[in-house]
Amino acid sequence: MTDLLQLILSGVALGMIYALLAFGYNITFSTSRTINFAQGEFLMLGALTGLTAAVTWKLGYAGALFAAAIVGCLLGVVLEKAAIAPALKTRSAVSWILATVALGIIARNAAERIWGTDDARFPAPLGDDPLTFLGVRVLPQELLVIGAAALIMSGVELFRRKSIWGKAVTAVAADKDAAALMGINVPLVITFSFVLSSAIAAVSGVLVAPLTLAGATMGTLLGTKAYAVAIVGGLQSGLGVLVGGLLLGLSEQFTARYVSTGYKDTPGFVLLIFILLVKPSGLFGKKSIKKV
């Protein structure tokens, strides 16, 4: 029983990481119908910036989070201006994909130049000694990741639903032209969505690095898996990415434990293909009507 609980717990922690990154895809997709394929690399840049802030500049974990958030915001602005805005202007369906992928490669190469190619240990703010609940051992950092992810996601959802700014974002998501007619500055809202999504990615980097080690290649696989999560859950739905993340995290752990460690990633991706076949908009996605 404790074995099972232990497995569920580490699956949830893993799933929350995926969900948090996928949430970033969801934010930008809802406003601009584009996503940032460099999201995993932004997570990595956040983690490494945080590492420099926490270890080299001795600003502590809060300093690391803050530094990562700033870097994330800046990256978001650069990304939107350099890769997304030109593509939206020309209504090109592929150029933003290539541009964000390219930006990701640049980010990874730059990180290798600045921080080297090795994986470094990121000191965990609450220590490395596991806590015990009902015989289940859990690292404080895992709880922090689960808690912070839930907080960030519910915070953003609340903002989207309750605040005037959030409503502007929702309006742009629903109908850009109508939103523009209502006096909403659509390009600004889109830029804002990229800033928010990039900042979340960078902050997630600082959250997960104590569990995963920090290094220039840490984001690539996470970015891919988060993308699968976003597709499974539905790119349009905040709840969808949360469920998708948990589904993937738990399926990985359970397959590794009860089937074979070699097939760990299989169920998640089989599910991805299945969902694409039967419900392309994702588990919780609304059917999108493409207007030509």
Does 120 bind another protein (CB under 8 A)? Our answer is: yes
Count Cβ atoms below 10 Å from residue 164 Cβ, excluding itself: 6
DSSP state of 263: G
Tell me whether residue 263 or residue 274 sits nearer to another protein (CB atom): 263
The amino acid occupying position 3 is: D
Q: Are 269 and 225 in contact (CB under 8 A)?
A: no
Q: Which stretch binds another protein (CB under 8 A): 2-10, 25-33, 49-57, 161-169?
A: 2-10
Does 7 bind another protein (CB under 8 A)? Our answer is: yes
Does 112 bind another protein (CB under 8 A)? Our answer is: yes
Q: Are 40 and 204 in contact (CB under 8 A)?
A: no
Q: Which stretch binds another protein (CB under 8 A): 1-9, 21-29, 53-61, 162-170?
A: 1-9
- The contact pattern for another protein, residues 132-171, with x = CB under 8 A and - = no contact, is x----xxx--------------------------------
Quote the distance between the C-alpha of residue 40 and its chain's center. Answer: 7
Q: Residue 43 CB, nearest distance to another protein (Å)?
A: 13
Count Cβ atoms below 10 Å from residue 14 Cβ, excluding itself: 24
Which of 33, 167, 264, 279 touches another protein by CB under 8 A?
264
Size of the chain in residues: 292
- C-alpha angle 51/53/56, rounded to 5°? 80
In the region spanning residues 14 to 53, those forming contacts with another protein, defined by CB under 8 A, are 14
Which of 261, 289, 290, 291 touches another protein by CB under 8 A?
261
User: Using CA atoms, how far apart are residues 258 and 97, in angstroms rounded to an integer?
Assistant: 38
Does 251 bind another protein (CB under 8 A)? Our answer is: no
- How many angstroms separate the Cα of 78 from the Cα of each of 81, 90, 180? 5, 18, 23
Residues near another protein, by CB under 8 A: 3, 6-7, 10, 13-14, 112, 117-121, 128, 130, 132, 137-139, 211-213, 215-218, 221, 253-254, 256-257, 261-262, 264
